[in-house]
């Protein structure tokens, strides 16, 4: 065993706590600011301790919104973000798992070309095709809709690859056994393969939910109506107006609310999160 | 690699790949193709007529000083973000890898910023370092620094790099920790028996064994700096002041949206696509090596 002397161990603890402080400080400031009076903040007199406006600010943020810039309740924005994130996560998993199933368990003409068509989309992130994609979504009358928000982000080569890799490790005997039981391809998928994939699906879901909730550029382009805004877009619009008019406590409360669901997912489902992160990078 | 046990069916496999294929063709290939076609076209000012101009859009871009500067800036940002975030994360991971009490708690407290969206990162940092009301700006002014990232381009760039690096710490930390934990203890013990002090052990044993992880993270961080910084830049500086924080992705966005110059924006998209293909290629080549290392 490599011995760690007491002194070095103290140093390690101290460095880690400094790291944690650096990582947490911006968020601490946001939480503190969301409980204080706007006038105080605007004067640059903000205190580093929590103020007394917690309930007032969060109530206004969630149910009413800012009084100046967006006027849209953040509760509604969160709902939009939630629907978009769920559609993206569930949609990606659903269409990837069935296409991976077809590619692994069937032989059919154009099998490999189709696989490559899906695979190459890894190299076409939404950022490099924004305007043409925008035009198509507009032509399909999907601007300001949940379909427009989620469909162009739903195809996922990573998820397909992941399921393909996993299916390859499933022993052939399972298929033979269920075939003897008289099960067809759909039965086998539903009764055998799907239950086996549960952990993979959960890990993937955690990552995809976070990525979906945090989408920015695409919703920014295709939402024009205030009631279709996601929370990430809403927060940007709140600070559009010149500094003097920005309602900082509400902006910071919105930032806190925007962080809450994905951070909760990471902390509460840490094991799945780490697994999903490592697997999707392979 | 192929499965031996398979099903026989003529139509079912097509039905199963159909949804994915439809989305890929409609929302990926068609727009990408449009971008390529668009990049060879020139539209007149009123959008009434278009003409085929071969590589004019590209040539114009390559001669455009602003575009050249955006390329240099993007690479500089990527490099600065990757180096600062990687070195800090490595320090933390090395500390957390030690047999300490509460190491799980440390991990939890260090990984959550991964979940914070880029635009929120931007808002948090601009608020902290806002010239007139930022909590930290007060102290900078006390130190005699004339801090105003809304007017000073270099300060704006520093702010973007700091915020973007901050967000990436947790990701890098996780992968470094996994990399460190996969180093066999016996190797370190052998070095210790040979009389190598901890610092020396780190640089001669741990660091070289970690090099695949470092290289992998370098590529991931560069891709991150290219694309995911959009949200940070858009909420903090909108590419300004001047053009001092305009990256390649931000330029595609603002040229297409504000300038209405679709041909140029499309040509920029195609150049970006080529860059992504190169980066993804490097990443894949490398990941294979990581597995066999």
ipTM score: 0.88
A108 touches chain B (CB under 8 A): yes
Q: Identify the band that residue A97 occupies on the pLDDT scale cut at 50, 70 and 90.
A: very high
**CA B278 to CA B107: how far, in whole Å?**
33
A102 touches chain B (CB under 8 A): yes
Inter-residue contact B118 to B228 (CB < 8 Å): yes
Inter-residue contact B164 to B229 (CB < 8 Å): yes
Given the DSSP bridges, would you call strands B50-52 and B41-43 parallel, antiparallel or unpaired? Answer: antiparallel
**Of A145, A147, A134, residue with least CA distance to A87:** A147
A103 touches chain B (CB under 8 A): yes
Name the minimum distance, in Å, from the CA of B267 to any CA of chain A.
10
Residues 155-184 (A) with a CB less than 8 A from some CB of B: 155, 160, 167-168, 172, 175-176, 184
Mutate to test the interface with A, among B27, B40, B180 (most CBs of A within 10 A): B27
pLDDT at residue number B86: 94
State the average pLDDT over residues A118-136: 81
pLDDT at residue number B291: 40
State the average pLDDT over residues A64-80: 79
Rg (CA), chain B: 24
**At which residue do the structure tokens 């209405």 appear?**
B260
Contact A130 B256 (CB under 8 A): yes
pLDDT at residue number A70: 63
**CA A243 to CA A68: how far, in whole Å?**
12
Q: Residue A281: its chain B contacts at CB < 8 A? A: 175, 216, 220, 287
Contact A128 B135 (CB under 8 A): no
pLDDT at residue number A69: 64
Q: Counting runs of H as helices and runs of E as strands, what totals does chain B give?
A: 14, 2
Condensed to tens digits (0 to 9), the pLDDT of residues A4-39 reads: 567 788 888 888 999 999 989 999 988 888 888 777
Contact B123 A13 (CB under 8 A): no
Residue A282 has pLDDT above 60, yes or no: no
Q: Which residue is closest to B100 within chain A, CA to CA?
A: A9
A99 touches chain B (CB under 8 A): yes
Peptide bond into A180 cis (omega under 30): no
**CA A250 to CA A263: how far, in whole Å?**
20
Residues 10-49 (A) with a CB less than 8 A from some CB of B: 11-13, 15-16, 19-20, 22-27, 29-30, 33, 41-44, 46, 48
Name the minimum distance, in Å, from the CA of A275 to any CA of chain B.
11
Condensed to tens digits (0 to 9), the pLDDT of residues A170-194 reads: 888 888 888 888 888 888 889 889 9
**Of B149, B133, B120, residue with least CA distance to A248:** B133
pLDDT at residue number B53: 73
A185 touches chain B (CB under 8 A): yes
State the average pLDDT over residues A214-227: 88
pLDDT at residue number B167: 92
pLDDT at residue number B293: 35
Of A9, A135, A175, which has the smallest distance from its Cβ to B5's Cβ? A175
**CA B19 to CA B210: how far, in whole Å?**
41
**Of B242, B218, B275, B224, residue with least CA distance to B118:** B224
pLDDT by residue for chain B (293 residues), tens digit each?
677 777 888 788 899 999 999 999 998 888 888 888 888 877 666 666 777 777 777 888 888 888 888 899 999 999 999 999 999 999 999 888 887 787 888 888 888 888 899 999 999 998 888 877 878 888 888 887 777 877 888 888 889 999 999 999 999 999 999 888 888 888 888 888 887 787 888 888 888 888 888 888 888 888 888 888 899 998 888 877 878 888 888 888 887 776 667 777 888 888 888 888 888 777 777 665 544 33
**What is the distance of C-alpha B1 from the center of its chain?**
32
For the CA atoms of B237, B238, B242, B246, what is the dihedral angle to 10 degrees?
100
Q: Which residue is closest to B138 within chain A, CA to CA?
A: A44
Inter-residue contact B242 to B153 (CB < 8 Å): yes
**Of B48, B55, B53, B118, residue with least CA distance to B81:** B118
State the average pLDDT over residues A199-223: 89
**CA B154 to CA B157: how far, in whole Å?**
5
Name the minimum distance, in Å, from the CA of A216 to any CA of chain B.
6
State the average pLDDT over residues A120-138: 81
Contact B127 A188 (CB under 8 A): no
pTM for the full predicted model: 0.88
Beta partners for residue B42, in sequence order: B51
For the CA atoms of B97, B99, B101, B103, what is the dihedral angle to 10 degrees?
20
Rg (CA), chain A: 24
Q: Residue B285: its chain A contacts at CB < 8 A? A: none
Contact B127 A251 (CB under 8 A): yes
Name the minimum distance, in Å, from the CA of A185 to any CA of chain B.
7
Comparing B292 with A212, which gets the higher pLDDT?
A: A212
Name the minimum distance, in Å, from the CA of A267 to any CA of chain B.
7
pLDDT at residue number A213: 92
Contact A118 B23 (CB under 8 A): no
Mutate to test the interface with B, among A132, A208, A219, A272 (most CBs of B within 10 A): A132
pLDDT at residue number B1: 60
Inter-residue contact B245 to B233 (CB < 8 Å): yes
Contact A217 B1 (CB under 8 A): no
A208 touches chain B (CB under 8 A): no
Would you report the helix, strand and coil content of chain B in percent, each value rounded to 5?
75, 0, 25
Residue A155 has pLDDT above 90, yes or no: no
């Amino acid at each position: 065993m490599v011995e760690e002397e007491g002194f070095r161990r103290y140093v390690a603890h101290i460095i880690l706590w400094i790291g944690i402080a650096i990582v947490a400080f911006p968020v601490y400031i946001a939480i503190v600011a969301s409980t204080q009076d706007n006038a105080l903040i605007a004067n640059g007199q903000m205190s580093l301790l929590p103020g007394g406006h917690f309930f007032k600010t969060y109530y206004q943020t969630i149910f009413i919104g800012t009084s100046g810039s967006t006027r849209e309740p953040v509760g509604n924005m969160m709902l939009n973000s939630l629907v978009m994130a769920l559609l993206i996560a569930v949609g990606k998993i659903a269409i990837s798992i069935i296409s991976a199933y077809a590619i692994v368990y069937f032989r059919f003409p154009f099998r490999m070309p189709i696989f490559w068509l899906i695979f190459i989309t890894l190299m076409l992130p939404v950022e490099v095709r924004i305007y043409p994609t925008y035009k198509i979504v507009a032509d399909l009358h999907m601007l300001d809709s949940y379909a427009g928000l989620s469909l162009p982000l739903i195809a996922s080569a990573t998820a397909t690859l992941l399921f393909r890799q996993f299916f390859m490790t499933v022993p052939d005997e399972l298929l033979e056994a269920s075939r003897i039981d008289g099960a067809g391809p759909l039965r086998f998928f539903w009764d055998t393969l799907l239950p086996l994939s549960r952990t993979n699906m959960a890990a993937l879901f955690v990552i995809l939910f976070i990525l979906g909730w945090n989408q920015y550029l695409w919703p920014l382009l295709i939402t024009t109506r205030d009631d279709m805004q996601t929370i990430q877009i809403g927060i940007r619009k709140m600070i559009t107006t010149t500094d003097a008019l920005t309602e900082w406590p509400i902006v910071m409360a919105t930032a806190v609310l925007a962080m809450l669901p994905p951070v909760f997912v990471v902390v509460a489902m840490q094991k799945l999160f780490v697994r999903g992160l490592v697997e999707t990078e392979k | 690699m192929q499965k031996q046990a398979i099903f026989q069916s003529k139509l079912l496999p097509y039905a199963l790949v159909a949804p994915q294929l439809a989305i890929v063709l409609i929302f990926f290939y068609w727009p990408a193709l449009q971008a390529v076609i668009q990049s060879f076209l020139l539209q007149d000012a009123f959008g009434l007529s278009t003409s085929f101009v071969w590589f004019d859009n590209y040539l114009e871009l390559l001669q455009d000083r602003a575009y050249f500067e955006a390329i240099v800036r993007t690479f500089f940002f990527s490099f600065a973000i990757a180096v600062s975030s990687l070195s800090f994360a490595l320090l933390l991971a090395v500390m957390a890898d030690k047999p300490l009490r509460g190491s799980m708690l440390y991990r939890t407290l260090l990984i959550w910023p991964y979940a914070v969206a880029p635009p929120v990162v931007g808002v948090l940092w601009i608020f902290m370092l806002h010239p007139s009301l930022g909590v930290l700006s007060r102290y900078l002014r006390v130190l005699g620094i004339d801090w105003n990232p809304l007017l000073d381009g270099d300060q704006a760039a520093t702010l973007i790099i700091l915020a973007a690096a901050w967000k990436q710490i947790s990701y890098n930390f996780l992968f470094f920790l996994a990399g460190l934990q996969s180093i066999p203890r016996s190797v370190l013990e052998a070095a210790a028996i040979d009389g190598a002090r901890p610092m020396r052990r780190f640089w001669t044993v741990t660091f070289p064994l970690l090099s695949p992880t470092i290289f992998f993270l370098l590529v991931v961080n560069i891709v991150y700096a290219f694309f995911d910084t959009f949200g940070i830049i858009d909420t903090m500086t909108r590419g300004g002041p001047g053009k001092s924080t305009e990256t390649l992705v931000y330029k595609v966005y603002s040229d297409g949206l504000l300038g209405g110059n679709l041909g140029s924006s499309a040509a920029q998209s195609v150049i970006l696509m080529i860059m992504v293909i190169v980066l993804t290629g490097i990443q894949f080549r490398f990941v294979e090596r990581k597995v066999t290392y």
